[in-house]
Amino acid sequence: MKYLFITRKNSTGIPHILEHSVLCGSRKYPLKEPFVELLKGSLHTFLNAFTYPDRTCYPVASTNTKDFYNLVDVYLDAVFFPKCVEDFQTFQQEGWHYELDNPDEEITYKGVVFNEMKGVYSQPDNIMGRVSQQALSPENTYGVDSGGDPNEIPKLTFEEFKEFHSKYYHPSNARIWFYGDDDPKERLRVLSEYLDQFEASTAPNESKIWPQRLFKEPVRVIEKFPAGEEGDLRKKYMVCINWLLSEEPLDVETELTLGFLDHLLLGTPASPLRRILLESGLGDAIVGGGVEDELLQPQFSIGLKGVSEDNIQKVEELVMQTLKNLAEEGFASDAVEASMNTIEFALRENNTGSFPRGLSLMLRSIAKWIYDMDPFEPLKYEQPLQQLKARIAQEGSKAVFSPLIEKFILKNTHRVTVEMQPDPEKASRDEAAEKEILKQVKASMTQEDLAELAHATKELKEKQETPDPPEALKAVPSLSLQDIPKKPIHIPIEVGEINGVKVLQHDLFTNDVVYSEVVFDMGSIKKEHLQLLPLFCQSLLEMGTKDMDFVQLNQLIGRKTGGISVYPFTSSVRGKEDPLTRIIVRGKAMAPRVEDLFNLMYTILQDVQFTEQQRFKQFVSQSKARMENRLRGSGHGIAAARMDAKLNAAGWIGEQLGGVSYLLYLRDLETKIDQDWDSISSSLEEMRKSLFSKNGCLINLTSDWKNLEKSNQHIAKFLDSLPSSPSLGSDPWLSRLPSVNEAIVVPTQVNYVGKAGNLYQSGYQLNGSAYVISKHISNTWLWDRVRVSGGAYGGFCDFDTHSGVFSYLSYRDPNLLKTLDVYDETAKFLRELEMDDDALAKAIIGTIGDVDAYQLPDAKGYSSLLRYLLGITDEERQQRREEILSTSLKDFKEFADAVESIKDNGVVVAVASPDDVEAANKEKSVFPEVKKCL
């Protein structure tokens, strides 16, 4: 893992563009994109790069030692000896360039980073974060955008780009971090092959970041953001109050204490600052991330969005008054105990999900190391934790936390209030300004200049579309098929029964944590209640009971467990028309507290009262704000859900619970709450009665065998307490949206373009080779044509083997019709594909890497549960693995016939700008339906 400590003087995005570019070929691996070859053919558990405001990180990870060192070697060569510093076309491709196919056409901007950042600058939350960051630190490197401002990126020259690499990408300016059980001597040997080629450098001195001096008085900043015309503009304001907490780095104990304070203030729905802001009715949802300590100086941010213009000042006053009250009164002892247990549980569990634990430790370590502090200090939590607990026990929590609130927030004059104003004309105004700049650029060119630009555009596209020579591809190290296990990863499972209910148990080492899932069939829900499900699940965790208000219930969960969640799960089942529909109640606790875990599960399922009208209204406002944010930032997910809803019943349910249909439902529900709350409350109670019984219940447990056996008595008690009445019956759910092409119009500068079809309905029979082929299409055809040539930030496909739906999707895409043309040519690409044995082996190995994805014990137990529910046996997994390992070029050719059906019979959904949708319909009438959602 390499970390480069870097600095910058402007917002042209040099470090971000360089992050992309160094992975486009190097001295030892002189092909176009070794990174993509690694994506195709390694067992990596992590392979990426990312740019912070003051550093760029190049991490790799693999559970296979040979594979790991292959990745390390490619990355070392890429970082220190990239081709991009000699290749202007790589700079153009990844950064920016003028594109002109024909001298008679208009010039456009293209570039992967350019379009990525246009997407970033279309999202209000991202704009808010950027403005806050820059206003807090105007005097140092944090006052500019390391990712790049789309208005500034075209000012970057190739010479500046090369100079930046020469100056800062030097071993003396790097931090290199390893984690694992490999031989340290081998690490040093590999590193010496690269580091020995360099002399000392002054880069560390020149890249040093000086602290921002603290302000003498607060500052106010007003910024506009692109807003749609839907709804009342006067209620779309955002406000965030930000503090820079210190001029000097904080010691570990102070940082840990600040982390606890942050959790006390904002960490749960019951946290007072979060709760009071939301209950005030001044806004729809929280903005600001609380304490952020990954940069040189820590900061604290909090605010609201969905605020009325008249309430901007009231939000700021409420934040300050709430913090003042908390400093004077302190926190409830139950709240402190709950936060302490939650944070201590998280530290000891060290559950990083699918993110490798070593990388998680590395990111914590590097946040101090690059500022010349001890890299191991952030990893030592035990002593500071015990010291903090002792201080709270001896002095009381008020004596610990109130001085922090006073010093770092209330008496801190380095405060920046950012007010974001909605502007429905901003997106079109920005687009017009860009076109005017390009118009002037073209007007300044002679006919010879234009012809030369058209020729350069053609040359760049030819390079992008020309395959690497076989000898260059062979230079990239890879495993062989002989290195790949022939059997799938085994997860132990025992299927038993307690009180007539099936119980699945997974004997895995979990460090004394017990993970549990209680699964209920949700097929008894009435169709008219379906869209209430997400809010129903939230209500179970965030409303009170007869004996406790929701704050007390939330604190009890925090004190006794590692957390409880409730959510709907829906999936198609291969070979069946009816989808799998379940409610999953998921929780975890230390082994001695399993009884508490199941008691609390019973409480939220049976005792929570659906009577708090105003809290429910808050849930609706928060969900609406979240969905509106998804439309801009995750348009590909919205498009995918919408296409699924047109193609299968499970997709329709999923879209009703989390797509455009759900957003429209929330807007209607928001007004209905005041008009007919009794009906909504009754519906929630009816849903509870129809859902939570022994009928159709299943329990899944993951821990070591000793803890599993001890848990059985608590499971039995829990099941005895559940009603066993028969379900109330339901309406048929086998609905779909009309199968017509559709555009979802939002104020954005980039698009998200999807096309999908059901391969099973076209006659395709599942074979494991489909996993290999789908991944290959994403990593070659779509990567090359949608991202590299098209300039989109991402382009990929997905094959849902449960439903048969095959989807194409693009992400932050400047194109629309051109991308659809690429999708339609996929079958032709497959038929004309040539692959030697090495290329085929890489594709197979990369697919196995996905199938054998890194999982912690809780994820293994959960995966086993889902396989059980979906009827996926170990025998089928073995069969699919054998089919993957035996994939041939013939399989690719045959798969072409399956995807060919999507060309003429598929459905198209795009989340796009109004101008691009209008232009597409003017040229091809591709969208019979156009929905304006923002």
Q: How far is 226 from 124, CA to CA, in rounded Å?
A: 7
Q: Tell me the residue type at 834.
A: E
**HEC sequence for 151-165:** CCHHHCCHHHHHHHH
In contact, 583 and 517? CB cutoff 8 Å: no
Coil, strand or helix at 507:
strand
Annotation marks residue 94 as catalytic: yes
- For residue 152, indicate whether it is catalytic: no
Catalytic residue among 19, 33, 116, 742: 19
> 169: exposed, middle or buried (C-beta count within 10 Å: 0-12, 13-18, 19+)?
buried
CA distance 804 to 133: 45
Which of these, 236, 225, 223, 233, lies nearest to 430 by C-alpha position? 225
Token pair 């990126």 in the structure block, residue: 153
Mode of pairing for the β-strands spanning 501-507 and 698-703: parallel
* Alpha-carbon span 339 to 267, nearest angstrom: 8
Whole-angstrom distance, CA of residue 242 vs CA of residue 303 = 9
**Within 284-370, where are the H helices?**
312-329, 333-349, 357-369
How many other CB atoms sit within 10 Å of the CB of residue 178? 16
Whole-angstrom distance, CA of residue 631 vs CA of residue 748: 10
Within 10 Å of residue 216's Cβ, how many Cβ atoms?
A: 7
Strands 794-799 and 929-932: unpaired
Which residue from 561, 419, 476 is spatially nearest to 38, judged by alpha carbons? Answer: 476
Residue 916 structure tokens: 């691009």
Token pair belonging to 551? 């704050």
Q: Enumerate residues 6+ apart whose C-beta is below 8 A from 349.
A: 511, 513, 562, 588
The two three-digit tokens of residue 188, written as one number: 């040093």
**Distance, CA of 168 to CA of 51 (rounded, Å):** 14
In angstroms, the CA 451 to CA 107 distance is: 12
Distance between first and last Cα of the chain: 42
DSSP state of 410: I
Phi, psi at 106, each rounded to 5°: -85, 145
What H or E segment, with its residue span, contains residue 703? Answer: strand 698-703
Q: Which residues contact 561 (CB under 8 A, 6 or more apart)?
A: 587, 588, 589, 593, 596, 597, 600
Q: What angle do CA 611, 612, 616 make, to 5 degrees?
A: 115
Beta strands in 752-897 (DSSP E): 752-758, 794-799, 805-811
Q: Are 868 and 702 in contact (CB under 8 A)?
A: no
Report how far residue 570's alpha carbon sits from residue 581's, in angstroms, rounded to the nearest whole number: 5
CB atoms under 10 Å from CB of 674, counted, come to 9
| Contact indicator for 73, 60 with CB cutoff of 8 Å | no
Q: How far, in Å, are 42, 221, 834 from residue 38 at the CA level?
A: 5, 45, 19
Q: Which two tokens stand for residue 447?
A: 């006919």
Catalytic residue, chosen from 33, 37, 94, 612, is 94
According to DSSP H, which parts of 738-833 are helical?
769-777, 817-824, 826-831
Q: Are residues 132 and 238 in contact, defined by beta-carbon separation less than 8 angstroms?
A: no
Q: Which residues are identified as catalytic? A: 19, 94
